[in-house]
Amino acid sequence: MHTFLGDIYIMDKLSEISKIARNINVYYMNRAGSSSMPANYYEVLRLIVKHPGCNSFFLADRMNLDKGLISRIVLKLSEKGYIESRISSQDRRSKLLYPLKKAVELKLLNEKERDTFYSYLEKFIPEDQKENFFSVLDILYEESRDLRHEKFASLKNYETDTHK
């Protein structure tokens, strides 16, 4: 069992993962200049590139966001020439979303910039600690992904159990 100060220290250290992610977003924004867009737009675009033909319900579910917000993001991405929507042949009420060349190029550019950013940071990890560090990151990522897929039900139960 951790002491109270120990738990605070651990939470502060784990929150640095979010700070690193924010720093890379700032890096993206600085590199993108005037063509920058909010982080959730990039995430919607990334999902559409990864899952061509998906719909707004899929995006709302994957991102755990309101369908109205997703619809507004999709509209903006369409207006900016990143995606197009097509009527589904199976359900005429459903619009399927497809990336355009501009979206794929942006995703590739972001991946290149991400790789540059992370390879720069990696050089500060001592060689004898890399394997363990990456193993811990894998565990944390898999757990957080599983939480998202279950719509954070386990986390809600955890909050209830720890605050009794």
29: tokens are 């924004």
Task: Examine the pLDDT at 146 and tell me if it is beyond 60.
Answer: yes
Averaged pLDDT, 112-132: 94
Q: Are 60 and 67 in contact (CB under 8 A)?
A: yes
Q: How far apart are CA 72 and CA 22, in angstroms?
A: 23
Residue range 75-90, pLDDT digits in tens = 999 999 999 999 988 8
Residue range 30-58, pLDDT digits in tens = 776 545 678 789 889 999 999 999 999 99
